[in-house]
Structures are given as C-alpha cells and as structure tokens.
Amino acid sequence: MPSATLNGVRSLTNNKDPAAPGNSVFNVMPSDSERIHNLTNLDPPYPSESLTFLRTLRAQRDIDSNVSTTPEQARLKLEITIVGAGLGGIATAIALARRGHSVLILEQAPELGEVGAGIQIPPNSGRLLRKWGVSKHLQKSAVQPESINFRRWQDGSVIGYTDLGSEFKTLYEEPYQVVHRAHFHDALYQRAVELGVKVKLNSRVVEYDAEGAAVVLEDGSIVKSDLVIAADGVKSVARSLIHPQGNHEPRLSGFAAYRATVDVSKMRSDPEIAQIIERPSLNIWIGEDRHIMTYTIAGGNSFNMVLSHKDLSDPSTWVQESAVENMKKEFSGWDPKLIILGDAAHAMLPYMSEGAAMAVEDGAAIAVAINRLHSTKELRFALKTFEVERIKRSGDMVDASAINGILWHFADGPEQQARDAAMRAEVEGRSFSSSANQWSDPVTQNWAYGYDAEKAMQDAWDQAVSDLIAERV
Ligand SMILES: Cc1cc2nc3c(=O)[nH]c(=O)nc-3n(C[C@H](O)[C@H](O)[C@H](O)COP(=O)(O)OP(=O)(O)OC[C@H]3O[C@@H](n4cnc5c(N)ncnc54)[C@H](O)[C@@H]3O)c2cc1C
C-alpha cells in the first residue's frame, strides 16, 4: 500500500503534458513537506540505512514535539456509542475518532469531571496519549517523578528504589507521569472535542439492545449505532448482559484508601516534610496491611496522598474492586455488538497504578481491532480477537496488582526481611537482574511499560486472520 502512493507520485510527475487540466508541474508535484512525509513514513524507495536513521530521528522529533501521528484510517467508518465519559470512555473515543469513526459518548452525570486526587500515567499509556495528541494538554499539569522510593513504615528508610530518570525514559520512549485526575480527564476531553467526538450529558443508559447495537436512555429515547461500547465503570450495568449468569456485584477487597491533597506551599515550612517534596518522586511507605503513597501533582503545587488500609466498613464510595477471578468467565457470552472495557471489565486493586492505563490500552486495541473491517458482519470476529488479547493483558495486570498487595503488606518478620533484602541492590545502586519490587524488576517492568497495545492488537489480528485462513483451506 505505501508503494502505491509513491508510484502514484511518480506517475503524476512523469506526466509531461502541462496543458492537461490540473496537470501543471506545480499542481502535481507534491510539496517538499509531503515528499519528506512520504519518504520518512513509507517503505524505502531504495536501499538506505541513512533513511532508517532519518526516520528514527523524525519519530523522536514527533515524540518531543507532542505531534499526534496520523493513524491508518478505518476501512469501514462506524457509528459508535460509548456509554460513560470516565477516563476509559473518553480515551476510547479518541482512539476511535482519530481513525475516522463517528463517536457519541452518553454520560449520566449532569457535568463532566473526575473526583479524587492523583493518578499515575505509566509509559504504556503515556506513549499512546502522546501519539494521540493528548500530551500537549497535559504539559502544564503533569509531573515527572525522578524515582519511586519504597520506604520502611517505621522510619522512612529507603528499602526499594526504581530509577525513572533518563535511562527509563529512553527505554520506554516516554516519562513516567503523575497528574491530578481532573487535569487528566480535562486533557482527554479537550482532545476528544478536537477530534469531533460528541458528548451528551444527563444521558443515563437504562437498557441495552445488544443485538441491535442500541441503548435506551432514562427519558425513553433510543440511540442506535453500529457498535456499543460500555465504559460504565466498576458498577457496570452492561456487564450483566455480557455474562448474564455471573455475579456482577463489585466485591470487597478488604482494603480501603483515604485520598487527600495538600497545598505544597504549606509543607515547605516544615523541614522534615519539605525534604519529601524537594525532588519530584513517588514515595511509598509499606508495612503490615497498610501503605501510604505520595507524589506531587498539579504542576508540583499539590501533594497527593493515598493511605491504604484494611477496612470492610465502607465499600460503596472508595473501594474499587470487583469479582476479578470471574473476569475471564464474564466475557464468555460476548455479544457481537456490545463490548465492555475499563473498570466495567477489569476493575483491579490500584497497586500497579495501571487501572486507567488498562482502559487507555483497551481503547487503543479496540480501534485497531475494528480498523480493517469491510462490513459490520465481521464485527463478531474482530471483537472476539480483541477479547482474547485484552483478557490476557488486563487479567495479568489484575494479578500483578494483587501480588503487590501481598508483597507490600508483610508483617515485620522473615518475609519482610527477605523482601527488603531482595530489593537492596537497587537501593545501593548495584546492578541487579531481578527484584522483589515489581516496578524495578526488569522483566516485570518491561512487560508492564514496554507493552505496545496497538502493535499487540495488530499482531493478534494478523494471527487470527491467518488461523482463519488455515482453517478454511
Ligand atoms: C485509589 C485509586 C488509585 C488509582 N490509581 C491509578 C493510577 O495511578 N493509574 C491508573 O492507571 N489507574 C489508577 N486507578 C484506577 C483508575 O482510577 C480506574 O481504572 C479508571 O478511572 C476507570 O475508568 P473507567 O472509565 O473504566 O470507569 P469510571 O471512571 O468509573 O467511569 C465510568 C463513567 O460511566 C458513567 N456511567 C456509569 N453508568 C452509566 C450509565 N448507565 N449511563 C451513562 N453513564 C454511565 C459514570 O458516570 C462515569 O462517568 C486507581 C484507582 C483507585 C481506586
């Protein structure tokens, strides 16, 4: 396909008849910027390592300058309804709209916004957000921590250390970022509007017609489309449609979190506290059944704290944990025109700080999965392929989050001592090939942050297509 465009350019420029309508050399020659774009984005027209070098340079320039890249446009442009304008719903809308789909988001709330405090944007979602042109809207508010420091609950001594400096940024082509949820949400919303996404507030969906790809709103009106994506959060109504027999109620994790933000200027006067905010870092104090996580957000002006502890008393407002062990089963009755994603599909303990990142990846993946359709009849195949890839990825992240919940919360004793010893090399700046700290452990780190949701989905798609062809011959 790329060479077709280049050939096209050649045949046009070879046309020597300046009298032919619209064929003056000035009309048919691509502009300099078009030619450079073609050369640096398409298959090389001649053998060249220098061109490969130039492409890498250009790609880096695009990353540095926040330029959103233009993706391959969807063959079949669909009308898509997304239920829920949370982080997952809007991210998915962006992923779909930039490929040419027409997207309408229905949100039950009377106004848009995110409550709560900080959220981390790891590179696996940050790379997508940059490519999608969201990062420019985050520039003023996002903070790039230099490190993640695990500290002993008793005295704050550093027992685990993940370097997020230049080596990390180069390796994952994106910094680790932390931001206020409201700023993140606003950045997504701004980009979605730029791409023509429509958001309808006060629109609570009360019924889904999965076969007809339609939803019924509280006021009785019906919205029809080609595909419905429910990003309706941990208390998802759509989830029960996808798996009618299962238990869909969010389940208590046994942990709860207090979240708070403090004005950084008020903290500077206390020298003991001031040292924590001296450099932008994530600090996590870990101890038996409790941890405290802190980092600065809002351009460094606000100090975010999450205090997690055992608590069964207040499940409805600030515990987000659903029946994760049923997650894979929940997808078994997948319907061709209705899918769920984000917390609706895989709410998890927040201990890998990857819940919203998984929703961003879901959005990237669904956009790729439906990009090559010729007809809506192929939706079932595309959504099945999406399902298999995303269940694996998000299911593994659910498990990784649960593992952090065990590792961090050891009581003082032999297990705690063994864990701290297994993280000592990174604290002392010695080289290490494994760590009990999942954020530092090279294998886990690369799996978490090196994952390219679009490429993984494309590979899964290609594999599914060749499997299908093999089945039929
Ligand atoms: C303490 C804590 C810390 C976290 N930290 C991180 C982190 O650092 N990094 C990270 O990536 N993730 C983190 N997460 C996870 C992250 O917050 C969630 O995974 C993410 O917000 C889920 O987004 P969502 O769009 O799927 O769902 P939601 O944000 O719940 O959005 C659902 C939307 O759907 C709307 N809706 C629901 N039902 C209907 C209906 N019937 N009709 C119309 N609209 C409807 C709701 O009003 C809402 O706007 C954390 C979670 C917690 C609890």
pLDDT tens per residue, range 28-81: 455 666 666 666 555 666 777 787 777 666 656 655 555 567 899 999 999 999
**Structural domain contains residue 14:** yes
| Nearest atom, ligand 1, residue 257 CA | 1
Q: Whose alpha carbon is nearest atom 2 of ligand 1?
A: 350
| Nearest atom, ligand 1, residue 318 CA | 53
Cα(321) to ligand 1 centroid in Å equals: 11
| pLDDT of 423 over the 70 cut | yes
| pLDDT of 333 over the 50 cut | no
Domain count, the chain: 1
Q: Mean pLDDT throughout 426-431?
A: 95
| pLDDT of 103 over the 70 cut | yes
Mutation choice for ligand 1 from 81, 90, 107, 404, CB with most ligand atoms inside 8 A: 107
- Rank 96-100, 165-169, 285-289, 320-324 by mean pLDDT and report only the highest: 96-100
Q: Whose alpha carbon is nearest atom 15 of ligand 1?
A: 355
Say how far apart CA 226 and CA 213 lie, in whole Å.
Answer: 6
Residue-wise pLDDT tens digits, 208-254: 988 889 999 999 999 999 999 999 999 898 888 777 666 567 677 77
| pLDDT of 325 over the 90 cut | no
Say how far apart CA 149 and CA 5 lie, in whole Å.
Answer: 51
**Structural domain contains residue 34:** yes
> Where residue 321 falls among pLDDT bands split at 50, 70, 90?
very low
Q: Whose alpha carbon is nearest atom 9 of ligand 1?
A: 353
Q: Mean pLDDT throughout 154-175?
A: 91
**Structural domain contains residue 281:** no
**pLDDT score at 216:** 96
**Structural domain contains residue 333:** no
**Structural domain contains residue 300:** no
Lining ligand 1 with CB less than 6 A are: 83-89, 106-109, 119-120, 204-205, 231-234, 237, 257, 259, 306, 320, 342-344, 350, 353-357, 359
**pLDDT score at 10:** 26
**Structural domain contains residue 43:** yes
| Nearest atom, ligand 1, residue 341 CA | 26
- For residue 12, the Cα-to-chain-centroid distance in whole angstroms is 42
| Nearest atom, ligand 1, residue 347 CA | 19
| Nearest atom, ligand 1, residue 114 CA | 29
Domain with 41 in it: 3-48
**pLDDT score at 276:** 77
**Structural domain contains residue 13:** yes
Cα(87) to ligand 1 centroid in Å equals: 6
Cα(347) to ligand 1 centroid in Å equals: 8
Q: Mean pLDDT throughout 316-336?
A: 38
**Structural domain contains residue 125:** no
Q: Whose alpha carbon is nearest atom 30 of ligand 1?
A: 233
Cα(182) to ligand 1 centroid in Å equals: 12
Mutation choice for ligand 1 from 104, 119, 138, 205, CB with most ligand atoms inside 8 A: 119
Q: Whose alpha carbon is nearest atom 17 of ligand 1?
A: 356
Mutation choice for ligand 1 from 343, 346, 362, CB with most ligand atoms inside 8 A: 343
| Nearest atom, ligand 1, residue 237 CA | 41
Cα(320) to ligand 1 centroid in Å equals: 9
